[in-house]
Amino acid sequence: KVRLENQVVRVGSDRFMQLEGIPVSSTIHDLQTHCNAAGHSLVLVAVDDHLAGGIELQPTIRPEARTIIDQLRAYGMELSIISGDQEQPTRSLAHELGIDRFFANTLPENKAKLIEQLQAEGRTVCFVGDGINDSIALKQANVSVSLRGATTIATDTAQIVLMDASLNQLAHLFELARNFEHNMQANLITTIIPGAICVGGVFLLN
């Protein structure tokens, strides 16, 4: 929502328009149903207190997405989509990417609640996001990743920012993390075992 000169312009979903008290006609609802059936999203535009029109958006998948998803799945990771979009476009996107679990119509604070629920189930959650609506979820996740060129609040909140502005290094990031974990475990073993032998030797000598 923004004020331009003497007018208030609102841009968002039908849910947002309803919250703002903007009437949405049955024609617009029918148009939205048609867009959702095609896997597209309809963003509504209102000027002052009147609906002015809509913008139909067709989601595009990053060219590297499928490869990254296959790599992460090979690591044994479970993948989910958490989206504020309508259910049908989210379902279509999940189907196209081969992701079984998805959450649609998710408000920003509910994205964080979903992550909290997964953590309560004993899962470690990595959240990848680039929008303003992702900031709360990025903060809640165990590991948070964003990309250069994302919204400022996303890059400021994320623990890791991929500087090539793509997901290409995401699998490499997890590979580094696993190698680091293995090294830590090896270092722990090489520290504890000699120490235990020394302590045992002291007791035996005594």
Please give the Cα distance from 73 to 196 (Å, whole number): 39
pLDDT by residue for the chain (206 residues), tens digit each? 999 989 999 999 888 999 999 999 888 889 888 888 888 888 999 999 899 999 998 878 888 888 989 888 888 889 999 988 888 888 888 988 888 789 998 888 899 999 999 999 999 999 999 888 899 999 999 999 998 888 899 999 999 998 888 888 887 887 777 776 667 766 666 766 665 555 555 555 55
- pTM higher than 0.85: no
